[in-house]
Structure formats: C-alpha cells, structure tokens
Chain A
Amino acid sequence: MKKNHRFFVGLAGVATVVTYLIWTGVSQTMLYYLTPNELLARVKDDPTFHQVGVKVSGRIVPGSWEEATEHTPHRFYVADLEDEATSFAVEYDDMLPDTFNDHENVDAVVEGRFREDGVFEATLVLTKCGSRYEATPEELAG
C-alpha cells in the first residue's frame, strides 16, 4: 500500500501544477464576452473596465468603414445586434480578413479594449462565417 502512495503524490503534484497553470492562465488572459450594449453599461458602472480585455460581438454598421492608410488604422463602427442605435467606433491596425466588408448584415467579433475616448482598440477582428457554410432555401432561389 505504501507504494501506491507514491502514485497519489505524483498525481497530486501534477494536478497542482496544472491547476496553477490554468488558474493563472485564465486570470491573466480572460476576455469578457459582451454585446456592445453590455460593454457600454459596464464601462459606465466601472471606469476601470477600460483596462480590461473584452471580446465584443456585433454588427458592422453599413458604410462606416474607413480603410487604413500608411499612417492611420482601419476604422469602422460596430452596432449592437438587437439595438442598432448603440454603436461605437473600432480601430484596427492589422490586416482585416478577406470576408470583412461594410455591406448589410455582416457580423463581426472584435477583441481588445474599450478606450477612455470611446473608441474600441482592437487586437483581433473576425467576421463570422456561419453563413458561409449553409444557405437558406430563400438565398438559393434569389
């Protein structure tokens, strides 16, 4: 029986290390996943929230895209999916995905932080491709 103790010690050791890694990993890299409405509400309640990493899912406001130049980043507006009146500007310095455009009905997910000046500084922009895989029968007919 004493021998099996070694096994459990080893198990406990590995479990501790892994738990520690997960714990610190989560606390240091986690992103709140919010809608634009929720983000604006959070920031109003708690100004320190400007420093927190967030991931926001919304709809790109049609026609709002200013393309990047050598000195300025991409800039576009993202609105809440349910409440189109709520929107804010997003700035993004890197390459946008090919699927990005500011036509109708394009959803985007942006990661980054919401600056004090009310502009979202994005480190990642993804356009949702759920619709790429399946079309509704109406879309096929049209």
Chain B
Amino acid sequence: MTILGEFALWIALPVGLWGAILGFVGGRKQRGDLVLSAERSVYAVFFLLILASAGIITAFVTDRFEYWYVANYSNRALDMFYKVSGLWAGQRGSLVFWALLLSMFSCIAVFTNRNKNREFMPYVVGVLLSVSSFFLMVLLFGDVNPFERLAFTPADGRGLNPQLQNYWMTIHPPTLYLGFTSFTVPFAFAIAALLTGKLDTRWIAITRGWILLSWFFLANGIIFGMRWAYQELGWGGFWFWDPVENASLLPWLTATAFLHSIQIQENRGMLKVWNMSLVSLTFLLTIFATFLTRSGLIESVHTFAENTKIAMIFLTFLGVVTGICVLLIAWRYPLMKSENQIQSFLSRESAFLFNNLIFLGAAFAIMWGTLFPLITEGLTGQAITVGPPFFNRVNLPIGIALLALTGIGPVIAWRKASRRNLAKNFIWPVVVGTAVVAGLYLQGARQTMALITFGVAAFVVTIITVEFVKGTRARAHIEGEGIPIAFVHLVMRNRRRWGGYIVHLGVVMIFTAFAGAAFDREVTQTLDPGESVSIQSAFGHEYTLTYQGLSSPRGQNMLRQAVALMTVERNGVPVGSLTAEKRLYVTWEAPVTEVGIRSTPFEDLYLILASLEDLGGAFENDASSQRATFEVQVNILVGWIWYGGFILTIGSLIAMWPSKASLTPAPRRAAEERVPAEPVGV
C-alpha cells in the first residue's frame, strides 16, 4: 500500500499539470473536450492523493520505521490514534495532507458546478490544479518526500512529541488546513472572473458559501490552537504572538474584512477592485502562513526545521502569484469601476469600510511586528525583535474599536442613517455599557483597558439583543405569528444577517474573555505534603489547595510519572481535588508538565507542578522526595473563549445554511395591515 502511495504521489504531479494547462487552454479556445479532461484531472488528483495518504497512514500503523517520516514521528508504543494522525504530525506528511484537502475541495467545487457557472469553471479548474501542482512539486522536489527511506531500518521510532499527544493538538492543524485550503476556491473564482471579464457580483454570489465555510474553519482552527496551548504548554496562557500563530491570524483578519466588504459590492456595486485585491491577499496569506511555518525563516516555538530549499520554492510561488494577481487586476481595472458612491458618512457602507480599514491595519501591524527582525537585519545588519508587549499594545485599541463596530454595524442603515434614529438606538446600550463599567469600578476593578472592553462588550450585547427582540416583535406583528415561531422564522428567513449577529455575540464573548485575563491572579509556593497554598480570585472568594502527596503510576508510553494531588477548598468548603504531573516519556528526554484545571463558568483554577526538589526520587516514589514547587493561577473568564467559539460556530452554521430565496411579499402585507384611513384632508 505504501509503495503504491508513493507512486500515486509521483503520478499526481503530471496529472495536475495536465489538468491545469487543459483547463486554461480549454477555456480560452472553448474546447469542451479539453475542459472535461481537466475536470477529470481534478477527480484523479484527489484519488491519487487518497492513495498517497493511505500509504502514509499504513506505514505508521504497521510500524514501518524504514521510512524517515514514520521513524521521526512514531514509535511502537504510540497510541493508534496518534499513529493515524501522524499523517499531519510533521512537515512532510502535513504537506500531503494539505494537498489532499485542497484536492478534496477542488472535487466538491467541480462536482457542484458540473451543471452551473460553466463559463467560469475551466479557469477555476486551471487555478485549483495549478495550486495543487505547486504543492506536489514542493513534495517531490523540496527534499520533503514523506516516502523517503533510510539506509537502514531502526528498531523503533523516536515517537511523537508528548505535547502533541493531545486531542486539541490533533484537530487544530486539520481544522486550520480546512480553512486555508477551502479559501483557494473563492480565489479561483475570482481569477476566473478576471480572466472572463465577468466582474460583477456573480463570482461573489457563487462563492459566498465557500468564503463563510473557510472563515468558519479558520476561526475554529485558531481557537483550537488556543485551547491546546492553554492545556498543554503549561503556562496558563493561550496566545503568545508567536510568528506562526500570527501567520494563521493574518488570513483570518483579511477574510473577516472580506466577508463584510463583499456586502458593499453586492448592495451598491462598489469596491470591486478592493474585493479582488482582498481575496487575492487572503489567498496569498494562506500560502504565506504555511511558508512561514515550514521555512524556519522566523524562529518560533512552532516551526518545523529549517529548510532553505522549501523557503525558496514557496517564495518564488508567492512572488509569481502576486505578480499575476497584480497584472490581472490592472488589466481589468477599467471594468471594475464603482457603480455608486458612499452617500453618507453615517451609513453601513461607511461602517463596513471602517471595519475593513481597521482589520487591515491590524493585519499590517501584526505582519510588521512578525517580520521586523528580518527587516531590521536586512537593512541595518542588526536584528531587532518585538514580542508580546508590542502586539498587545498595538492590538488592544484596535480590538476595542472593532468590538465597538460590531455593535454599530447592525444598527446603522445602508446608504444613509438618520442621526436622530441612531442616537435613539444607542441610548440604552450606552447606558448599559456605562453602568457595567461603573459597577465594576465600584467593585474595585481598576484595569482601564479591561474596563473599557467590558463596557463596549455590554454595549454590543445590548444592541444585538434589542435587534433580536425588535425583529422578532416586528415579524410577529406583521405575520401574525407567536413569538417563538416568529423568532425562528426571523432567523431562518434571513440567515446571513441573524447568523452574523450570533457570530458577533460569540466574538464579543471571546473579547470579554481576553479582557478577563487582566484580572488573573497567580501564586507560587514550595510545599511539603500537608501544607497549603491559598489564592484569591478576582471575584472575591478564596481557594485553598492542600498538598496531599505524590504518587508515581506508570502510564502507557511513559517511563515515569509523578502525580501531585491537591485537595481544593473554596472559602473553606471542600470542592474536590486537582492533580498536576511531571511525566517522563519513553522517547523524550525532557520531562513534560501536565497541568490540572478546574473549570467553572467564570474562572479556571489552574495548577502547575513547577518543579520537584528531587525529580528522580519523586519518580521512584521516594517518600522523602515529595517537596514540590507549585504555581497556582486563577484565570478569569478564560472559559468564555471556548463558549464564545461555540456560539460563533452556531452563528456561522446558520449563516452558511443554504436557503431558497424566500421573500415574503411586502405589498401583500401592506394591504393586510392597512389601517382604516383617517381623513387627512385631500
């Protein structure tokens, strides 16, 4: 199977190139037979990549350590779950995985459009297969072939980094990759639109579902990464402004901007060049993200090993694609004139434009900070870095501005909003926001940025809630429905809008969680069994953890384990226990820390076994080696990131759900609810 998989990979490249060329040529010459062959190439590449992936997975599952990739990311004792997911555990396999997902989405795009949008499809196929071929070229010529064999067969592999043996870490790359690769489809349609000269809103209408899908996966992928970092890295943080983290955030930022700006093009026929540029930029950023991760260009906790060959191939591809996009957009510029202009500063168009500018500003700032060492070293010979303090400083005000916009957007009308009406709609939300800030201030909270965030968050939640209430009431009144039914119908009849509002609620929840971090507390103490450590939560109550002792069971794949048990009391009342560990894995020299987390809706009690006085003795269950240093944290509102993510998921699913155009006729309603005419004096 594995040998077949290897051949399949080699066959896939010429097939991909064949299809790419035939797609473009067939579209240009209107040769349907070439186009059909090109479409078949899409299916063929997918099939071949399935074989290649199956080959890799088989090699893992059957412990074929003569393969370099298997030897480095697996060992005999590794759990089957991680052997299968070994496909994306490291650089080489993850490239195959990326190609696989890209080809899967390409198949779906071709299949769902086999009887539709035919004028675009030849070029869409051309673009999709070109990108797939690129990844295949990297795999086969970039010294990263997952089927590379060693000169000998090791008896056992090195095993998987224990920190990667975690549920969230296993689903985090696939989810992100689903987001990155699915965005290639809207990009392909955009290029097709440029090539065919059909630059109206058609390409947007066709790909709207894809854009939402991609955004959904990107957002979740990033959140899963945060969850993994929080659970596994053992510092209680969830985001470190690591270059690779930043690289995945960039396309998400531009994709979010894009989701909003396409509405301006749909509604008012404006921003055509902007949207073309934004879709291209987002696609380029997805490639840039994977380039940064793989090339080792910026050192990072995440990067796969340094590989200059890959760096050059990726950079060339990025350069070529950028050049092509710029040329195409310049060529078609005359066809992309705006049909309208912004009528008023106080309008939804204006608000969305602001939103776009701010998102792009944030993306630029993050890109700048990430590449700064390279830039300064290139210019002055001296590398200068910036770290989390920079990114937090810059993004905090930007984040608050964006948060405020999520509340202003829903309330401000298209074209021209009346000042009086806006003010009327803002009164209660502003009151609530101010009350929240005042209330927290009176309780002793003094962290300015966090207070402002809470205030703005309350403002937004009020606005969105009122929107739902008003909308439901209006519908109930107009359609004569009961409130619950009216609510459901309201949402289902305009899924984009109301799904979008729910997504906004999720985002607000996540931002509130970020602000909550300003109130985290932390205490470090060395204890002998029987001793306690206390920590106060920002909410006022006190946790007392009493160290019971160490035990050293032996888990699978582990050489040694030292488990510290603490009983927990909240304000004197026993509420359970918490364990924190140091583990020594069979195949990993450094010990690994496993934290203990006790989650409640408003805070997490986070326990770290920082160090043991006598690690060796502890592992041997030596009773005199139980002295340990613990770090205890109370992380405020951190759970709201995951809850917010869940709400965001629901909102996106609603927004994405396809629906027939369902417009209940307005005139009929007007006739139904015609009020008996009052004589007005004709």
> Direct A–B touching in the complex (beta carbon < 8 Å)?
yes
- Please state if B305 and A14 are interface contacts (CB–CB under 8 Å): no
Stretch in contact with the other chain, from B192-200, B353-361, B462-470, B498-506: B353-361
Stretch in contact with the other chain, from B279-287, B341-349, B420-428: B341-349
Task: Report A-chain residues with C-beta under 8 Å of the C-beta of B384.
Answer: 30-33
CB distance from B85 to the nearest CB of A (A): 16
Encode B579-592 as 1/0 by CB contact (under 8 A) with A.
00010000001111
- Please state if A14 and B342 are interface contacts (CB–CB under 8 Å): no
Task: Report A-chain residues with C-beta under 8 Å of the C-beta of B369.
Answer: 22, 25-26
Answer yes or no: B350 CB below 8 A from chain A CBs: yes
Given A137-B150, A140-B150, also A31-B301 (CB < 8 A)? no
- Please state if B357 and A14 are interface contacts (CB–CB under 8 Å): yes
List the A residue with the shortest CB-CB distance to B368.
A22
B385 partner, pick from A10, A15, A55, beta carbons under 8 A: A55
Task: Report B-chain residues with C-beta under 8 Å of the C-beta of A29.
Answer: 386-387, 389-390, 393
Answer yes or no: A48 CB below 8 A from chain B CBs: no
Stretch in contact with the other chain, from B52-60, B151-159, B317-325: B151-159
Answer yes or no: B18 CB below 8 A from chain A CBs: no
- Please state if B372 and A140 are interface contacts (CB–CB under 8 Å): no
Given A6-B342, A28-B393, also A133-B592 (CB < 8 A)? no
- Please state if A130 and B394 are interface contacts (CB–CB under 8 Å): no
Answer yes or no: B161 CB below 8 A from chain A CBs: yes
Answer yes or no: A128 CB below 8 A from chain B CBs: yes
Q: In the complex the two chains form, what is the Cα distance from A99 to B386 in whole Å?
A: 23
Given A4-B341, A10-B350, A18-B365, also A31-B151 (CB < 8 A)? no
Which residues of B are at the interface with A, using a C-beta cutoff of 8 A?
Answer: 68, 71-72, 90-91, 150-152, 154, 158, 161, 234-235, 296, 299, 301, 303-306, 341-343, 345, 350, 353-354, 357-358, 361-362, 364-365, 368-369, 372-373, 382-387, 389-390, 393-394, 397-398, 524, 526, 582, 589-593, 608, 610-611, 631
Task: Report A-chain residues with C-beta under 8 Å of the C-beta of B610.
Answer: 95
Q: In the complex the two chains form, what is the Cα distance from A124 to B217 in whole Å?
A: 33
Encode A1-31 as 1/0 by CB contact (under 8 A) with B.
0011011001100110110011011101111
Given A3-B342, A10-B353, A140-B72, also A25-B393 (CB < 8 A)? yes
- Please state if B394 and A25 are interface contacts (CB–CB under 8 Å): yes
Q: In the complex the two chains form, what is the Cα distance from A126 to B302 in whole Å?
A: 13
Task: Report B-chain residues with C-beta under 8 Å of the C-beta of A98.
Answer: 234, 582, 590-593
Answer yes or no: A134 CB below 8 A from chain B CBs: yes
- Please state if A25 and B386 are interface contacts (CB–CB under 8 Å): yes
CB distance from B340 to the nearest CB of A (A): 9
Task: Report B-chain residues with C-beta under 8 Å of the C-beta of A95.
Answer: 235, 524, 608, 610-611, 631
CB distance from A39 to the nearest CB of B (A): 12
CB distance from A134 to the nearest CB of B (A): 4
A16-63 with Cβ < 8 A to chain B: 17-18, 21-22, 24-26, 28-33, 55
CB distance from B156 to the nearest CB of A (A): 10
- Please state if B398 and A30 are interface contacts (CB–CB under 8 Å): no
Q: In the complex the two chains form, what is the Cα distance from A58 to B299 in whole Å?
A: 14
Q: In the complex the two chains form, what is the Cα distance from A95 to B235 in whole Å?
A: 9
Q: By DSSP majority rule, is chain B's interface helix, strand, loop, or mixed?
A: mixed
Task: Report B-chain residues with C-beta under 8 Å of the C-beta of A30.
Answer: 372, 384-386, 390
B394 partner, pick from A22, A33, A70, A128, beta carbons under 8 A: A22
CB distance from B199 to the nearest CB of A (A): 20
- Please state if A15 and B361 are interface contacts (CB–CB under 8 Å): yes
B526 partner, pick from A7, A10, A70, A135, beta carbons under 8 A: A70
A141 partner, pick from B154, B235, B362, B368, beta carbons under 8 A: B154
CB distance from A86 to the nearest CB of B (A): 18
- Please state if B385 and A101 are interface contacts (CB–CB under 8 Å): no
Task: Report A-chain residues with C-beta under 8 Å of the C-beta of B368.
Answer: 22
Q: In the complex the two chains form, what is the Cα distance from A132 to B301 in whole Å?
A: 10
Closest 9 CB pairs of A and B: A18-B361, A33-B383, A29-B389, A134-B305, A3-B341, A14-B357, A29-B390, A99-B590, A25-B393
- Please state if A31 and B387 are interface contacts (CB–CB under 8 Å): yes
CB distance from B219 to the nearest CB of A (A): 23
Answer yes or no: A111 CB below 8 A from chain B CBs: yes
Given A26-B390, A30-B386, A30-B390, also A141-B152 (CB < 8 A)? yes
Given A11-B357, A14-B354, A95-B610, also A31-B154 (CB < 8 A)? no
Which residues of A are at the interface with B, using a C-beta cutoff of 8 A?
Answer: 3-4, 6-7, 10-11, 14-15, 17-18, 21-22, 24-26, 28-33, 55, 67, 70, 95-96, 98-101, 109, 111, 124, 126, 128-130, 132-135, 137, 140-141
Q: A111-B387, A132-B161 are known; give 13 further A-B pairs, CB within 8 A.
A: A29-B386, A29-B390, A30-B384, A32-B384, A33-B373, A67-B611, A95-B631, A96-B611, A98-B234, A124-B387, A130-B305, A133-B161, A134-B304
CB distance from B615 to the nearest CB of A (A): 10
List the A residue with the shortest CB-CB distance to B301.
A129
Q: In the complex the two chains form, what is the Cα distance from A31 to B376 in whole Å?
A: 12
- Please state if B385 and A133 are interface contacts (CB–CB under 8 Å): no
Q: In the complex the two chains form, what is the Cα distance from A128 to B306 in whole Å?
A: 13
Given A10-B354, A98-B590, also A21-B397 (CB < 8 A)? yes
CB distance from B146 to the nearest CB of A (A): 13
- Please state if A137 and B68 are interface contacts (CB–CB under 8 Å): yes
Q: In the complex the two chains form, what is the Cα distance from A18 to B353 in whole Å?
A: 16
List the A residue with the shortest CB-CB distance to B89.
A133
- Please state if A133 and B608 are interface contacts (CB–CB under 8 Å): no
Task: Report B-chain residues with C-beta under 8 Å of the C-beta of A18.
Answer: 361-362, 364-365, 394, 398
Query: 22 A-B residue contacts at CB 8 Å?
Result: A6-B342, A10-B353, A10-B357, A14-B354, A15-B357, A18-B365, A22-B394, A29-B389, A29-B390, A31-B384, A33-B373, A33-B385, A95-B524, A98-B593, A111-B387, A130-B303, A134-B91, A134-B305, A135-B71, A140-B71, A140-B158, A141-B152
List the B residue with the shortest CB-CB distance to A100.
B590
CB distance from A80 to the nearest CB of B (A): 16
Task: Report A-chain residues with C-beta under 8 Å of the C-beta of B235.
Answer: 95
- Please state if B393 and A130 are interface contacts (CB–CB under 8 Å): no
Q: In the complex the two chains form, what is the Cα distance from A140 to B90 in whole Å?
A: 16
Q: In the complex the two chains form, what is the Cα distance from A3 to B91 in whole Å?
A: 50
- Please state if B305 and A21 are interface contacts (CB–CB under 8 Å): no
- Please state if B357 and A25 are interface contacts (CB–CB under 8 Å): no
| Residue of B234, B394, B526 with highest tally of chain A CB at under 10 A | B394
List the A residue with the shortest CB-CB distance to B384.
A30
Task: Report B-chain residues with C-beta under 8 Å of the C-beta of A28.
Answer: 389, 393
Q: In the complex the two chains form, what is the Cα distance from A135 to B90 in whole Å?
A: 12
Task: Report B-chain residues with C-beta under 8 Å of the C-beta of A32.
Answer: 382-384
Q: In the complex the two chains form, what is the Cα distance from A31 to B375 in whole Å?
A: 14
CB distance from A109 to the nearest CB of B (A): 8
Q: In the complex the two chains form, what is the Cα distance from A22 to B152 in whole Å?
A: 53
Q: In the complex the two chains form, what is the Cα distance from A111 to B384 in whole Å?
A: 12
CB distance from B606 to the nearest CB of A (A): 13
Task: Report A-chain residues with C-beta under 8 Å of the C-beta of B234.
Answer: 98
Q: In the complex the two chains form, what is the Cα distance from A33 to B372 in whole Å?
A: 11
